[in-house]
């Protein structure tokens, strides 16, 4: 992950992640050239296994499931706390171990602690700090992955124009890392280079540079001796991309190394429009689901079915959860994403490492920021859970209550009924089920809505034969009300009464039908980049990035889409340094 840092309450993804990195895959392959190894097994995450020197790589990687990333810490630029997290502590790893994780990935950026000219010496204090953190994790019985992280875009990317210096620095970096950890437990793994990328190159050229670096990494580490002679090594495909061509090239590269102690490592952040909420990607729909299943099908066919162990070194959604900005992804849709992700990974025999920059675990309190989300992630490690087409039922306050229906997605489980707390709703009276269609009656909804205040009135659970229940939020709303507004190039604040509704997305067009906004390839602009809801402040915000992208004097028509299904039209015109907004 590139620069997923936050400071003073803001978060940035750092240097641009291109669309081609949607399915990042770091694949280091374990091929003996003779007998294929078994696909990794996923066992109960509560019982960690220590590494055995004689264990097959596939068994070691299986024993690493599940895994967690110490993101935005040792990889932060320029120092460990620069991106808002406190220093790592032994108590942090105690917590991670207690939460059921068996391994941790420790991204490390070396460039700020290393001379930029030969002999490219790494500062001894920094090396000592990295080793301290590694040793804390190892002491907890966790497997550990150490890599070269943001160096990939800081200086390695210039290899096409500075080939010899970059290669020399890369070799020097791994020579020093290998020496420092030469005698460390073989529960420590090395990863060559995070998300390899090279400036102004074609994929064919990039693959050649990537192969050269992976080979150099392999040679340097193996020649350093000690436990490094058989330490498991991870090698990335170009961009850590899971496209078939990238995987095939990586497999050929690994075969040529003829080393049985290699592991494939992958990244996955989902279908890009859904992952960041752009281009109308508000739901974990059939397109987003197929993107996920196709990715894991390629991984299974190309790697794990051939006995090549796979460590999925980063996964999540690119912009969810955030906790410093309004949620781009609706909570129920995110739950469905993580639920299916766990199933696909288990079916493919892949070990997975949650990317956690700051958004899951609060590093100061060592508590999960969103326990419900983490509960779903944990459940997905071992089983499936039933879901539904939505986690909300919207009731219009200004209209009579009528029956409302949702589509159940049992995911191989059996529906067991509806509950409100410890009280079971009565089938036939409170709800009916016909095939996969769940309908809650008007009688039950009237009771659940109570005084019909705007917002969530009640929560009921659809329970299934296994996994977690699916929570349904009974919500009262009326159509949001927007007002006229004026602003400048720093943005436009549109007074808005949300009245219990939630914003899903915004599309923007000009009168000639062309798209308005900074994301010119789609009318549906990116959530929190072009627009953002301010629920406590009763406002919709059009960002400076959005208003400054508008054509001067050309009126843009905005359509705000809300989760209830309501839409509201708004007109915006920029004239010089002023911006005006009008309803309808």
Catalytic residues: 195, 314
Q: Tell me the β-bridge partners of 396.
A: 477
**Cα-Cα-Cα-Cα dihedral sign, residues 161, 165, 170, 173:** negative
- CB-based contacts of 580: which residues, under 8 Å, 6+ apart? 484, 485, 486, 487, 572, 573
423: which DSSP letter?
Answer: E
Residues 386 and 467: beta-carbon distance below 8 Å: yes
CA 385/CA 376 separation, integer angstroms: 8
End-to-end CA distance of the chain: 41
- The residue assigned the tokens 């099908």 is 297
Give the distance from CA 223 to its chain's centroid. Answer: 36
Closest by Cα among 236, 201, 228, 238 to 29: 236
18: which DSSP letter?
Answer: -
Residues 103 and 142: beta-carbon distance below 8 Å: yes
Q: How many helices (H) and strands (E) does the chain have?
A: 13, 30
Distances (CA, A) of 581 to 487, 493, 498, 553: 8, 9, 17, 13
Q: Locate all alpha helices (DSSP H) within 48-122, ordered by sequence.
A: 57-63, 90-98
How many beta carbons lie within 10 A of that of residue 126, not counting itself? 18
Q: Tell me the β-bridge partners of 558.
A: 508, 570
- The beta strands (E) that lie in 61-142 are given as 67-69, 103-106
Show the 3-state SS of 276-333: HCCCCCCCCCHHHHHHHHHHHHHHHHHCHHHCCCEEEEEECECCECCCCCCCCCCHHH
- The residue assigned the tokens 């078994």 is 38
Residues 173 and 220: beta-carbon distance below 8 Å: no
**b (16+ CB within 10 A) / e for 165-199:** bbbbbbbbbbbbbbebbeebbbbbbbbbbbbbbbe
CA 11/CA 319 separation, integer angstroms: 9
Stretch (H or E) spanning 235: strand 233-235
Q: In a 3-state reduction of DSSP, which class is residue 570?
A: strand
């Amino acid at each position: 992950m590139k620069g997923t840092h936050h400071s003073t309450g803001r978060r940035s993804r750092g240097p641009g992640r291109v669309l081609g990195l949607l399915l990042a895959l770091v694949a280091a392959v374990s091929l003996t050239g003779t007998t294929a190894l078994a696909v990794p097994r996923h066992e109960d995450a509560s019982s960690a296994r220590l590494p055995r020197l004689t264990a097959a790589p596939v068994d070691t990687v299986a024993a690493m499931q599940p895994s967690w990333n110490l993101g935005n810490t040792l990889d932060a630029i320029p120092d460990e706390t620069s991106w808002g997290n406190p220093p790592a502590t032994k108590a942090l790893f105690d917590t991670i171990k207690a939460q059921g994780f068996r391994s941790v990935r420790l991204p490390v950026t070396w460039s700020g602690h290393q001379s930029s000219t030969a002999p490219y010496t790494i500062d001894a204090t920094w090396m000592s700090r990295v080793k301290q953190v590694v040793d804390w994790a190892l002491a907890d019985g966790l497997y550990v992955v150490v890599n070269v992280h943001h160096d990939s875009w800081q200086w390695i990317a210039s290899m096409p124009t500075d080939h010899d210096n970059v290669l020399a620095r890369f070799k020097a970096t791994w020579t020093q890392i290998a020496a420092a950890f030469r005698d460390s437990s073989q529960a420590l793994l090395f990863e060559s280079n995070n998300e390899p990328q090279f400036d102004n190159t074609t994929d064919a050229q990039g693959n050649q540079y990537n192969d050269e670096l992976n080979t150099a990494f392999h040679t340097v580490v193996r020649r350093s001796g000690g436990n490094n002679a058989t330490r498991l090594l991870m090698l990335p495909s170009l961009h850590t991309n899971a496209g078939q061509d990238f995987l095939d090239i990586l497999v050929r590269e690994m075969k040529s190394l003829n080393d049985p102690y290699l592991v494939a490592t992958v990244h996955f952040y989902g279908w890009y429009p859904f992952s960041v909420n752009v281009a109308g990607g508000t739901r974990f729909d059939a397109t987003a689901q197929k993107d996920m299943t196709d990715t894991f099908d390629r991984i299974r066919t190309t790697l794990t079915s051939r006995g090549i162990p796979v460590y999925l070194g980063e996964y999540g959604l690119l912009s969810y959860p955030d906790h410093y900005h309004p949620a781009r992804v609706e909570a129920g849709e995110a739950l469905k994403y993580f639920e299916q992700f766990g199933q696909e990974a288990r079916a493919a025999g892949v070990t997975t490492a949650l990317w956690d920059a700051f958004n899951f675990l609060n590093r100061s309190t060592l508590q999960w920021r969103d326990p419900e989300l983490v509960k779903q992630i944990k459940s997905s490690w071992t089983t499936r859970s039933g879901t539904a087409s939505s986690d909300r039922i919207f009731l219009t306050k200004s209209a009579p209550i009528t029956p409302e229906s949702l589509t159940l997605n049992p995911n191989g489980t059996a529906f067991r009924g509806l509950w409100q707390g410890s009280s079971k709703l009565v089938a036939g009276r409170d709800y009916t089920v016909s095939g996969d269609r769940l309908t809650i009656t008007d009688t039950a909804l009237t009771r659940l809505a109570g005084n019909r205040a705007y917002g969530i009135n009640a929560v009921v659970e659809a329970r299934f034969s296994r996994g977690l229940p699916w929570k349904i939020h009974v919500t009262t709303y009326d159509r949001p009300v927007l007002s006229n507004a004026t602003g400048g190039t720093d943005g436009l604040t549109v007074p808005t009464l949300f009245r219990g509704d939630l914003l899903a997305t915004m599309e923007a067009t000009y009168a000639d039908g062309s798209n308005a906004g900074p994301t010119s390839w789609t009318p549906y602009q990116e959530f929190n980049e072009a627009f953002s809801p301010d629920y406590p402040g009763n406002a919709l915000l059009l960002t400076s990035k959005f208003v400054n992208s508008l054509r001067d004097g050309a009126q843009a028509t905005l359509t705000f889409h809300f989760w209830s299904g309501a839409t509201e039209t708004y007109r915006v015109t920029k004239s010089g340094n002023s911006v005006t907004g009008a309803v309808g």
